[in-house]
Every structure is written in C-alpha cells, then in structure tokens.
Amino acid sequence: MQILLAQPRGFCAGVVRAIDIVEKALDRYQAPVYVRHEIVHNRHVVDRLRGKGAVFVEDLSEIPAGSVTIFSAHGVARSVQEEAKLRQLPTLDATCPLVTKVHVQGRRYAKGGRDLVLVGHAGHAEVVGTMGQIDAPIHLVSTVEDVEGLPIDPDKPIAYITQTTLSVDDTRSIIAALHARFSDVEGPDVSEICYATQNRQTAVRALARTSDLLIVVGARNSSNSSRLREIGDEMGVPSYLVDDGDGVDPAWLEGVSTVGLTAGASAPDELVQSVIAALGRIRPVEVRTLDGVEEKVEFSLPPELRHPVATPESVE
C-alpha cells in the first residue's frame, strides 16, 4: 500500500511560535506558567506542555496573582487584556501575527466608517477574540445565506475580515456574495488571509486527486484540520480525521491501494508518523511525499523571550 504525504502539512509558523513561547517562558520563569485557553487546538501538544509545567485555564480568575500568563495563538478580546492588567499579571501574547493582522485591518475599516462583517464560525476562539478586539459593531456570517440576512442597507459602505482557518473556497463564495449584495465593499483578497491555510488546502486537493482514501491528522476542535477533511469529502474521497495512529480503522483500507495523509496546522509530525506506523501494522507500506510548497515563514518571539536566560557560566 502506498502512502502519499501532503506537502506542506502540520505545524505552521504561528503554531511553532506559540509553542516556543510557552517552552521558553517555562525555561525563563520556571513552572508553573499559565495559558489562557489551549495554546493551539491539539490535545497531544497541550498534554506535552502540561507535563512540562504549563497550566491551561479558560478564565483569568483561575490564575494566581503575579503568575506569568500567556494568551493563546487564537488571540483574546481586549477585555481579557485589560483584566490581566488590572490583576497585574505579567503577560506574553502568543497570538498568531496573521490573526493580529486581521484585528488591525478590522479596526482600520471601522475607523473609516464602514459597517464591519466578520466571516467566521460563532464560538471559535479566534472569532471571539477578534470580535472583542474591535470597538465597533460586527456582523458575523458563516455562509452565503447569512449574507442575505445581514441587516445593512445595500448602499452603505461595508468591509469584511475573516477567520484565518476557514475553507478558502467557502470564504471566496461569501466574499462574492458580499460584493453582489452591497455596492461599496472593501476587504482583503482571499490570498492575503493565511498562507498556511491556503497551502494546506491546496496540497490536500492535490493529494485527494491521487488517493483512494484521505486521512487528516488533527484535533476535532481544530478548525483548519476539519476543513482539510471536508475538502477530501467534497472531492469524493472517503476522508477521516484522527488524533493519531490509534484512530485508524483497518476497515477503511478494504480495496484501498493509495492512502493520502496530511495534518492540520496544529498537529506535530510525530502524530503523522504514528499514523504511518499504524497503517504499516495493517499492511506493508511505501511512503512518498508529494511535491508542494516549502514554507520558510518564521515569526519572531516577544522581546522578553528573544535572548537566552543568563546562567552563572555565561555571566562570568
């Protein structure tokens, strides 16, 4: 059985940065450090960091006074930032720079007097954070049908921003619906939304064209991982989302000669390897990586963490 690996797959630069922030904070400040919300949506990553001394909470009230506090890659509302200041919690912001870019765009559009539309999924951590970062009313839409129901005059100037982990095709359709309904629309091109989301979705389309079965490694609550599985389904390929190799069902492989394998942006490569191992226990496998984009994007750490911790030896 042949296993085809998507290129790219797995960690993006925003996820790498967020995990680095937690690990370097543990090195610099010692355990425990507190993280509001899962740093990224992956149980294995969270459990590994928890084992090193990170404590994950959903509310700042759970954090002892004076404790180092990290905001997750998804971003937080300004009210959370202000509460941390009031409680005098030393904070590190692991918000993905591309999510921060969305916040900046939204504030600029709102300041220009445009009604603001956010394309995203209600309740997702990134959407909650974005809506709380902009001091203006925001209309949330998830589908083309939602656009038709917007309570905005068609002649009023509007602008849109988007959640970074959406299906690129769905987002493109919603943007087209906004342009069809409203006469004055501003917003970023789909190509500006998130390089990692686009690259992984493009790669999974290429993978699905040559696979009998698609397996996506990622968490159930990972929006970008779920989109990858949905793309496979849309292309007519049986597609499954698994946490790791333990999620592989041998029954999926009946009549299958080629398995396409990819991973969401918050899934580490060792989980991909665990799926390969699980498939190899069912049937002999040959693994090949498809051609694709090689990502070289890197995001800098917060200033507080850019320099190594001084040791007695380095001081002498």
For 21-36, the pLDDT digits (tens) are 999 999 999 999 999 9
| CA–CA separation, 198 and 231 (whole Å) | 12
Architecture in CATH of 2-11+195-289: 3-Layer(aba) Sandwich (3.40)
| Residue 148 pLDDT level (bands cut at 50, 70, 90) | very high
The CATH fold of domain 98-192: Cobalt-precorrin-4 Transmethylase; domain 1 (3.40.1010)
In CATH, 13-96 is 3.40.50.11270: yes
pLDDT digits (tens, 9 = 90+) for 183-193: 999 999 888 88
Active site members: 126
| Range list for CATH 3.40.50.11270 in the chain | 13-96
Distance CA 160, CA 43 (A): 32
pTM of the predicted structure, to 2 decimals? 0.93
**What H or E segment, with its residue span, contains residue 174?**
helix 168-181
In this structure, what are the phi and psi dihedrals at residue 187, rounded to the nearest 5 degrees?
165, 165
Chain centroid, CA 181 distance in Å: 30
Sign of the alpha-carbon dihedral angle for 199, 205, 207, 210: negative
**Model confidence at 316: pLDDT above 70:** no
DSSP strands (E only) in 198-285: 213-217, 239-242, 258-263
Residue range(s) in the chain whose domain bears CATH number 3.40.1010.20: 2-11+195-289, 98-192
Statement: residue 309 has pLDDT above 70: no
